[in-house]
Chain A
Amino acid sequence: MNWMVAGPEIFYFAAGLFFLLLSFTAEQNPDAAARRRVHLTALLIASVGILVCLVSVGMEGRLFIRAYRVDIFSQVFKTLISLGLFLIICICGGITDISERRHHEFYFLLFTCTLALMLLVSADHLLSIYISLEVSSYSLYILVALRKNQSLGLEAGIKYFLVGTFASAVMLLGMALLYSTSGTTYLTDMAVVLPGIINRPGVVIGLLFTLGGFFFKLAIFPFHFWAPDTYQGASNQVAAYIATASKVAAIAVILRVLAFAGQGSVYLVHALVVLSVVSMTLGNLAAIVQKDLKRLLAFSTIAHSGYVLLGILVLSPAGYSGAIFYALALLVMEFTAFMVIVELASDGRNLQIKELAGLHRRSPILALALMVSLFSLAGIPPTIGFAGKFLVFVAAIQKGYIALVIIAMINVVVSLYYYLLVIKAAYLLEPAEPLPPIGVSLPKKLLAGVSAAVIVSGGFFPYWLVQLAQTAARALVWKG
């Protein structure tokens, strides 16, 4: 067995362990310098993590009695997840609403969760999928509840936990059904057995229930209830992590399971069409009335999950690469929007939309980054978000789902309304009393500028990224 293949996993496991050990040595009341040291250490480790992941791109192999698959698809996603972690840690510098004593644990959980997400994108066996999903969820439950504001954080954590365990239970039931009908727990073996029996009720229900666990992660109807409350209750940085890295991994695992096991089922596709349409419509309509920026983003994420599902349910390589591209786009866009929230709410409070008033004068660069990320989320060209939607829609129309695409486009128009409301707040409204300019440190300014530039250039020159997504998608097409 070649352990080098699992390089990223080993690295993040070691990093998690390192922070766990470090937490034993933590002082009761660490000063600012100590907190800064921890943050810089985490930043350094996360940036090395990206390198480790990059080096491991291109490796292939199977581990743990074939339960674990390393291929280009999983490695691309691991790189994305490591990038997500790095970006999130970048904005954790001034984190104030996690108790000072708990910073080691905070990073420990972030790294553990990242490890679990990486395991998830490589898992090739029902049990390894289940375990990695649970490890990542449990880390997140605690991360959400860690918020200093006890009632908000705890409430969010418990809601998240309850919906999560329910989804897990459904998923286990689905897995049991799948096993009982197909007689195997390996995804690769299922790809052989299932096509023959794909339209049996047990298989369709089993697959749908199994997907339920991932739908919970991605916040797809009917497992979306946790998203707004959890985003609102979690500290801004944790919400950002859930919106980026966690979503990316969820997209990956849905792709993997459906690509291997979902071929040829009409009923399954119909069910997915319904879920996709309901998710995007519900998310967009609910987002219109939100006053809290994080809640708004939570509902918009539900809608985005609907668009992603649209790319997945066409079950074609073009759709897979569209969904992979969309995952990448989501990572960048959501991060940029959350970074602005974190910078504005420097005391860790929840940001109301009306608090954005006068942002264009208080910090032009943050206002610009927010506008670019929101236009990208709305799917206006030339942004990376538009390129993602375009690829997904192209795949869907190739397979004849033109009505579905028109519904999705109408949803895009609806979503533009509330994105414009936010942009209006940032560019038009003036605060009741004049507020001072926001002091944004140079690295943060750079980060905001680079993020905005990436969003725009990813829309103008998506060539390399599209190539990457197509390469990764090719690994999904099962070759017997």
Chain B
Amino acid sequence: MPMHIDPARFPCLSAILVSCAVGMLTIMLIPQERKRLMKQVSVFFSGITLLLTLYVFFAYDKGLGGLQFVENVQWIPSLGISYFNGVDGFSVPNLLLTGIVFFTGVLTMWELETRVKEYFALYFLLVTGVFGLFMSMDLFFIFVWYDVSLFPMYLLIAVWGTTRKEYGAMKLTLYLLAGSALILPAIIFLWAKSGLDTFSFVSLMQPGLFTPQAQKFAFLLLFLGFGILAGVWPLHTWSPVGHVAAPTGVSMVHAGVLMKIGAFGVLRVAIMLCPLGWVYWAQLMAVLAATGIIYGALAGLRQTDLKYVIGYSSVSHMGVVGLGLSTVTVEGLNGAVFQMFAHGVMTALLFSSVGYIYDRTHTKLIPELGGLSRIMPVASAFFIVAAFAGMGVPGLANFWGELLVFVAAFRTYPVLGVIAVLALVVTALFMLRVVQKTFYGPENERYARLPDMSLSLGIPRIILAAVLLILGLYPSVLFDVIRTASVPFMSGLLR
């Protein structure tokens, strides 16, 4: 992987982490009762972070490609660990996605009143870990950031959550740490096998460094480990439960960004370090992904809880990402990364809209709702836009991701591709059913006088919906970036 080091450049990536960390510390220092100030501080720091990620996204030189914004500092030289950050075409979209979801997630939680300080402090810690993971090019730090982004989750769900929150939080935490139990041995295994005494990703990526046998073994561990977080069937069961239990802002980050960490980990660590293992296990990946698509769709069909519907649709949509990764083609990789971004924004918008509805009606059960589009038209519109994106309607972002993945899948796995597309029709069906039952049909008298969304609460939803629309109309904004990573990687592999 070509590296472009520019020592004179402002360390943008570290600045993102510092901005999150400083935000967290500032919130912790504010007295307990100044809740409004805490929220303002949160918006301020998450806003700075969003601007930084936007800068990185647009300043990334697409002509140059490779690894940019490189920062490299020795950390523990005796083990070859370094604080090594950099972004390539795969991580740039994910950084931006995190920035967007982070910022909108803060705004969405504007009405939070209980234990505000701890909520935002933990939320910032969580996001710090996510950013760190997307930008780190050192395997040791990738693992550290992985865990940093997980353990605040337990308290975030268990304290501020809703349905079966303690169960959901515990299940989620244990599942995801079981993933790390597979990742850590695999990472150390690769380090020991390489004999280079370095955890640096760039050094370990040399082709032919690992024997095919080692690659197959390490790939399996890494794929299963990160796959748990990516919601790969049958290791997905934590995900709907966790989504439902989490408070709105956390659901957004969780489904929007955290599951992407899993897929990104599979791509970055498993696939890029063990390409031969990838080719070897690709069919397994494809079968699991297709099963996930079908299973998510069928399970979603039966749900009566709005958040469970979204939770299972996430399993299904993340299956699309997995299917894209399993095709071993440029189009598959492009589609998968695009779908990661699109799904992140879409699902954040869905959770954000449901959060608003739940805060007003105090129910997420579809049979109890109805006719909401007449009671709160604006809030309903956001949900419907996101649901259409989830169905893969052209003009919205998800269409492009799914299109590319399925084009690639048809070529590599014709049978699985057809089955998966049929399953997507089922997804569309249940999304439509939810939209119809929740937002149309007879109104529930109890909720008839509830207020519609105010402008300030609308801002985060507007941002998310706008992103979906812009990428639906100009997908090349994203594709051009992704291609700078996927094309050289695949051509290197074929050689």
Contacts and interface: CB of A to CB of B under 8 A. Distances in A.
Contacts of A470: 78
Contact of B147 (A381, A391, A402): A381
22 contacts: A381-B144, A393-B184, A394-B79, A394-B191, A394-B192, A397-B192, A398-B192, A402-B185, A406-B181, A409-B182, A409-B184, A409-B185, A413-B181, A420-B154, A420-B170, A423-B154, A424-B158, A428-B155, A428-B159, A428-B166, A466-B79, A470-B78
B358 to A, nearest CB: 21
B188 A413 contact: no
A424 B144 contact: no
A50 to B, nearest CB: 26
Contacts of A328: none
Interface in B157-210: 158-159, 166, 170, 173-174, 177-178, 180-182, 184-185, 188-189, 191-192
Given A380-B147, A381-B148, A406 B182 contact: yes
Contact of B76 (A386, A424, A428, A463): A463
A417 B154 CA distance: 11
A409 B192 contact: no
Contacts of A380: 147, 151, 177
A420 B168 CA distance: 13
B247 to A, nearest CB: 14
Interface of A: 360, 375, 380-382, 386, 390-391, 393-394, 397-398, 402, 405-406, 409-410, 412-413, 416-417, 420, 423-424, 427-428, 462-463, 466-467, 470
Contact of B177 (A406, A412, A463, A466): A412
B76 A462 contact: yes
A222 to B, nearest CB: 26
B181 A397 contact: no
B188 A397 contact: yes
Contacts of B177: 380, 412-413, 416
Contacts of B143: 381
Interface string B68-82: 000000011111000
B177 to A, nearest CB: 5
Contact of A382 (B144, B158, B170): B144
Contacts, number: 79
Of the listed residues A413, A462, A466, the one surrounded by the most CB atoms of chain B closer than 10 A to its CB is A413
A405 B154 CA distance: 25
B154 A393 contact: no
A306 B159 CA distance: 33
Interface string B14-27: 00000000000000
B174 A416 contact: yes
A389 B350 CA distance: 40
Given A386-B147, A466-B76, 16 more contacts: A360-B118, A381-B147, A391-B79, A394-B191, A394-B192, A397-B191, A406-B181, A410-B181, A416-B174, A423-B155, A427-B155, A428-B155, A463-B75, A463-B76, A463-B77, A467-B78
A94 to B, nearest CB: 28
Interface of B: 75-79, 118, 140, 143-144, 147-148, 151, 154-155, 158-159, 166, 170, 173-174, 177-178, 180-182, 184-185, 188-189, 191-192
B182 A417 contact: no
Interface of A, secondary structure class, is: helix
B151 A405 contact: no
B137 to A, nearest CB: 17
A391 B76 CA distance: 11
A394 B181 contact: no
A397 B166 contact: no
Contacts of A375: 151
B181 A412 contact: yes
Contacts of A386: 144, 147
A410 B154 contact: no
B75 A427 contact: no
B116 to A, nearest CB: 14
A423 B78 CA distance: 35
A355 B158 CA distance: 19
A410 B214 CA distance: 21
A381 B142 CA distance: 11
A428 B158 contact: yes
B76 A405 contact: no
A214 B77 CA distance: 34
A386 B181 CA distance: 12
B163 to A, nearest CB: 16
A462 B79 CA distance: 11
A57 to B, nearest CB: 20
A424 B185 contact: no
